[in-house]
Structure 1
Amino acid sequence: MEKPFSDYWKEYLNIQNAPCGQVGDTNEDTLNLLKNSDVVCSVRFEYRNCRTRIPVLMKMEDGYKAIYPHLSAYPKESEAQLMKINIQIAQSAGVHITSNEIIYLNKEYIRKDYLDLNEFLLRSDHLFNRRNKPSKTIDECMEQYDFDLDEWIDTVQTLLDSPEFTLDRSKKCTTGRRCSYYDDCFDESKLPDDSILFLTTSSHKLQAYANGIRRISDLEPEDIEGFKLQYAQYMASKHGIFYDKVALKIWTSMIQYPISYLDFEWDTFAIPPYENMKAFDVLCFQYSLHIEDVNHNLSHHDFFDTADCREKFILSLLETIPKKGSILVYNMEGAEKLRLKQLGEQFPKYKEQLDQICDRMIDLSKPFECGLFYDNRMRGHYSLKKVLPVFTDEYSYHQLSIQNGLNAVFTYRTFDSALPEQKQVIRQELSNYCKMDTFAEYVIFHGLEKYLKEDDVNA
């Protein structure tokens, strides 16, 4: 992002010169700001040590309007709870909030040669439901929340004053997005690889654990809920490893040489920086491509660039990738395949060629996701980094300076501001990481083939 999101919405509201509250402001400080200005940003209030910040307060005839800018296209109805809390805390300081609005991103807006804030940002007094539809007003959403703020504060204070508290593992810890503090509360490193807690998509594993069941194989067969991956985990818990020989043979028979092992790295932009981009579009800045010919010779190719390198990325890929053969990609539907579809929309003249690449893609994650192969060491996960150690201990992401995609993006963002000698190091580290992804695909594919060949020999 070229500048803070607040700069955009302040310009949109034409309040660039409005005074702003500061960290640590007292209620008295805030009241003084409101007394001297009709619009104040970053308005801070405090009630019984419970502090809050309202992005914008605008003075109206009957009180104040609170405005909440969201770096999101679909602010959810749950946001109304915070708004209601803020109303109560502000009221305790003598500030009466009579209405609320949100500012959010227009997901349909396509940037042209400049960013039109009047098209890109939208205002509304509605919030969005789970289906991303603006079905209820903010006031209607707030009516659904009934709470006693003093009781909440007392409860939190009791927890803070307690010398210790009981850790309770529940579905809330992992529902939606895994809690950031999960690993602090529950150290799973000492659990057996086939722990019942690693049983995927299970609605009963926590109850089973509470009942004393520790390993997946301790379950009764009828307790397996019918998912293929669960069955694979159950069989692996009994025998150490499970693979469906017939299904794997059918899957591997689809792979045709030359095999291209492909991986992209990209950054996501909430605010579209370049022409023909939408909110939250991505920009691919790197690819790694290992090519294995019919004689099993392996070659490597890559691409890296910064700024608006989309067309360079496309041209390099089209020139380098073989015109025939299978393209193995790990978890392609939500990643590389989707990226190429988006690039085809942004650059229609390359759409047909990019679609042809997509048509030849085969998802290497499917044998693991669908339970055709499972090793207890995967511990309920089938990401590339979890699967690779099953097939080799010679190569590891731990050997790299950059060990995951998030670190790769953060490193990429430092490239333009780095010194020349640092840029060379950054480029090499990014190349090593992306190269490891495609080499891991190569190792995993041939690892699956090896199991099938050994099984045929022992048959």
Structure 2
Amino acid sequence: MYHISDVKKYLRCPKLFWLSEREEALPFNSYVRLDEAVTTLACEKLEIKEHFLGTRGDDPQKTLDAMKEMDWIVKGRFEYKQLRVKIPFLHRNGDVWDVYFLFCGNRPKDDDMNFYCASTWVLKMNKIPLGEFRVLHFDENYVRGDKLSAQELFKITSMFYNDKGNPSKEIKETIQKRMRNLEETLNNMDEVLKLDNVECTRQNKCTKKNKCRFYETCFPDEAQIPNDSILTLVSSQYKYEMFEDGVDSLKDAIPEKIEGSRQQYAQIMASKMGGLYVDEISLRTWMKKIKMPITFLDFEWETYAIPPYKGMKPYDVLPFEYSIHILHEDGEIEHKEYLGTKDCRLKLVENLISDIPSTGTLIAFNAEGAEKIRLKEMAAQFPQYAKNLMDLYTRMMDLSFPFALGTVYDVRMRGYYSLKVIMSFMENQTGYHDLDIHQGMDAVFQWRLLDKEIDEVDPDEIREHLSAYCSMDTYAMVVVFNWLKSLLKKSDN
């Protein structure tokens, strides 16, 4: 039996599908927290009372039998040619059935047409006459009051949205245009699973958006490539082509086959200069804007699909922890932190304002994409502290700037400039590998255990792990900042 996720894997890459079928299933932890029963809330929105409710493992015939008696089918299972789908809502409308998809997001787009089309195809193959197509989705403007309102939380649309957030394409018409017969695809999937091995072919989609989790399995030799290999060239359409043509090193990149970004320039120059490139003028200009004392700040936060507390919107985040390291003029380093549970937003804000010095520069890594956004969100939610929080916002600078702009590049970065990567080659420093938590989402998963007060876990141990991880982020910023300062000192000597 196949699910739509299997079809999507196969269409992306047969090898991905083949490997996934041989992989032991791992525990699933969602990036987004969804504590509420979405289906129950959606039933309230649709004012469904009498209905058939499907469950995992149902024989599809059970759903077909229920359709003879009931006007509403909720989470019905259907199957054709081993492809099983779950349809969120079907409603009898005369001689046809209206389809209601459930999108747990703010604006449904036409970027998951494999799901919509495959679901519809299975219904059609079961000879179910279909009427209108609609999608239930969250209203991004809904602000929760004391109680959650299902009527206000959801919107119902017959249109897909474009990137600007405007209705653009009719759902039914789009599905009809893009739907195709999947029988050949399903037959091919059967044949692929019979094979002892599937050959790998490197394609752009191997690393597009998110690198395939099997990338190292398919191309193990790439882990052994030199630090300045042409394969580390960022945002390059032709790096594999150059590699196949015998170009091994960044310094030998073919000018006609590079896009010419500042990051690429920094990489190529680092290769030519023995491993390190520093644009001293640019770095010095950036450094001059920084005032003492310097406060290095890092937040950890949870993302909620459905707002759990008053004043929150769908997909709002809740910062639950921060760490700060304060670098004083005399070189002394001071550390402060906060970790809360439940609705700890207000207490976190008050502690943050109290802990950060009233003068000097704030620094975060990827501040523009994270910490500065969090400060603006908190200022909107707690207007009584808006002035204080926006003062922090205006004093904040982004430590990733010198790396993102190609001001500094060390070939040991191998095309990446995350804080963990840079920290990994700092001399005489312990790193993230010594921690029990190794990445941000691991911290979120651990906090969920703490926040939900699960009996089987030790809250003190989780607090210790969360504290160690978050404080490592701000400590690492201190180390990287001092390294950048040392690069300028070397040029002065």
TM-score, normalised via structure 2 length: 0.88
Say whether residues 1:169 and 2:226 are aligned partners: no
**Distance in 2 separating the partners of 1:268 and 1:146:** 33
Say whether residues 1:228 and 2:258 are aligned partners: no
Say whether residues 1:438 and 2:474 are aligned partners: yes
Per the alignment, residue 207 of structure 1 pairs with 241
Give the conservation status (yes or no) of the 8 Å contact 1:26–1:44: yes
Distance 1:4 1:219, change over 3 A: same
More deviation in 281-290 or 8-17?
8-17
Give the conservation status (yes or no) of the 8 Å contact 2:121–2:179: no
1:314-368 CA-partner distances (Å, limit 9, x unpaired)? 1101111001111111110111110010011111111111111011111111011
Per the alignment, residue 25 of structure 2 pairs with none
Per the alignment, residue 261 of structure 1 pairs with 296
Say whether residues 1:452 and 2:488 are aligned partners: yes
Give the conservation status (yes or no) of the 8 Å contact 2:72–2:89: yes
Q: Which runs of 5+ in 1 are unaligned?
A: none
User: How many corresponding residue pairs?
Assistant: 457
Query: By how many angstroms is 1:16 displaced?
Result: 6.0
**Distance in 2 separating the partners of 1:164 and 1:275:** 54
1:418-455 CA-partner distances (Å, limit 9, x unpaired)? 45981111111101100000000000000111122122
Distance 1:3 1:16, change over 3 A: farther
Per the alignment, residue 437 of structure 2 pairs with 402
The alignment partner of 1:285 has SS state of: strand
Say whether residues 1:189 and 2:223 are aligned partners: yes
Say whether residues 1:111 and 2:147 are aligned partners: no
Say whether residues 1:68 and 2:104 are aligned partners: no
Give the conservation status (yes or no) of the 8 Å contact 1:412–1:426: yes
Per the alignment, residue 333 of structure 1 pairs with 368
Say whether residues 1:424 and 2:457 are aligned partners: no
Q: Which amino acid in the other structure matches residue 286 of structure 2?
A: W
Query: By how many angstroms is 1:80 displaced?
Result: 4.4
**Distance in 2 separating the partners of 1:258 and 1:78:** 46
Distance 1:132 1:393, change over 3 A: farther
**Distance in 1 separating the partners of 2:403 and 2:164:** 30
Distance 1:163 1:298, change over 3 A: same
The alignment partner of 1:40 has SS state of: strand
CA RMSD of aligned residues (A): 1.9
Q: Which amino acid in the other structure matches residue 153 of structure 1?
A: L
Per the alignment, residue 28 of structure 2 pairs with none
**Distance in 2 separating the partners of 1:329 and 1:229:** 21
Give the conservation status (yes or no) of the 8 Å contact 1:292–1:298: yes
More deviation in 222-231 or 278-287?
222-231
The alignment partner of 2:380 has SS state of: helix
Map residues 34-433 of structure 1 onto 2, 5 A cutoff. 34-145=67-178, 147-187=180-220, 188-238=222-272, 239-416=274-451, 417-419=453-455, 422-433=458-469
**Distance in 2 separating the partners of 1:121 and 1:146:** 27
1:256-304 CA-partner distances (Å, limit 9, x unpaired)? 1111111111001111111211111111111101111110111100011
More deviation in 404-413 or 161-170?
161-170
Q: Which runs of 5+ in 2 are unaligned?
A: 1-33
Query: By how many angstroms is 1:72 displaced?
Result: 0.7
**Distance in 2 separating the partners of 1:156 and 1:409:** 36
Give the conservation status (yes or no) of the 8 Å contact 1:73–1:105: yes
More deviation in 417-426 or 268-277?
417-426
Q: Which amino acid in the other structure matches residue 224 of structure 2?
A: K
The alignment partner of 1:252 has SS state of: helix
Q: Which amino acid in the other structure matches residue 303 of structure 2?
A: T
The alignment partner of 1:442 has SS state of: helix
Give the conservation status (yes or no) of the 8 Å contact 1:80–1:138: no
The alignment partner of 1:316 has SS state of: helix
Give the percent of matched residue pairs that are identical in Structure 1 and Structure 2.
36
Q: Which amino acid in the other structure matches residue 351 of structure 2?
A: S
**Distance in 2 separating the partners of 1:343 and 1:318:** 12
Query: By how many angstroms is 1:197 displaced?
Result: 2.3
**Distance in 2 separating the partners of 1:91 and 1:146:** 11
**Distance in 2 separating the partners of 1:266 and 1:246:** 36
Distance 1:396 1:163, change over 3 A: same
Distance 1:3 1:441, change over 3 A: same
Distance 1:176 1:129, change over 3 A: farther
**Distance in 1 separating the partners of 2:283 and 2:424:** 20
Query: By how many angstroms is 1:233 displaced?
Result: 0.7
TM-score, normalised via structure 1 length: 0.95
Distance 1:54 1:37, change over 3 A: same
Q: Which amino acid in the other structure matches residue 446 of structure 1?
A: N
The alignment partner of 2:228 has SS state of: coil
Per the alignment, residue 8 of structure 1 pairs with 41
Query: By how many angstroms is 1:374 displaced?
Result: 0.8
Q: Which amino acid in the other structure matches residue 200 of structure 1?
A: V
Give the conservation status (yes or no) of the 8 Å contact 2:121–2:180: no
